[in-house]
Structure 1
Amino acid sequence: MYWFLLLMAGVFESAFAIGLKLSDGFSKPVPSLLTAIAIALSMLMMSLAMRGIPVATAYAVWVGIGVAGSLTLSYLFLKEPINSMQLISVALILFGVLGLKVTSTG
């Protein structure tokens, strides 16, 4: 349950990162509102996940999911380019996230 909450917190972190870009400095009402909702949901789920997952592990996994998700979403929806070094770097981050999950006591 805690790991599912953490996964969802990371998904919403990715969404709010893209939302920040789409809100254009919070000057566009609908993207700004959706971004604020994504931020609130991400923080709520992160705080609930940390009831059963150590802080350092939860934070690292949350950021890792956010990085990978943001890169993917920015490529798919914002047409931002991705190069091979970025893909390798994100793969290393995800490998680290997997390592944290496997070795976690939470």
Structure 2
Amino acid sequence: MAWVYLVVAGLLEAVWAAALEASRGFSRLVPSIVFVVALVLSMLGLAIALRDLPLGTGYAVWVGIGAVGTVIYGVVALQEPLGVARMACLLAIVAGVVGLRLVGGGH
């Protein structure tokens, strides 16, 4: 169950990052509220997951999921470029996250 909390927390990290950008420096109310709610829930999910997972593994996976999710959001919603080199780097992050899941221990 810790891995489920961790994956959801990582996805929420991408949500709060996108909401932070959309808030325009906290000058827009709704994205600012989404940011705060997603941030709190993301941290809560990470904290719960870390009850059963090693800190290094949990944090690295959380960051990796959030980073890849944020880039995907940027490419799809904000028309950020996605070249071959950028795609290779994202695949390296995904491979690292999967690798940590396979060898990272925990429940």
Segments of structure 2 that go 5 or more residues without pairing to the other structure are none
1:91 corresponds to 2:84:
no
Q: How many residues align?
A: 106
Show the counterpart of 1:51.
51
1:101 corresponds to 2:101:
yes
1:72 corresponds to 2:72:
yes
Show the counterpart of 1:26.
26
Give the TM-score, by structure 1 length.
0.97
Segments of structure 1 that go 5 or more residues without pairing to the other structure are none
Note the aligned Cα RMSD (angstroms): 0.7
Show the counterpart of 1:35.
35
Show the counterpart of 1:14.
14
State the SS of the aligned residue for 1:26: coil
Identity of aligned residues (%): 40
CA distance in 2, matches of 1:81, 1:18: 16
Give runs of ≥4 in structure 1 deviating > 4 Å: none
CA distance in 2, matches of 1:52, 1:95: 22
Give the TM-score, by structure 2 length.
0.96
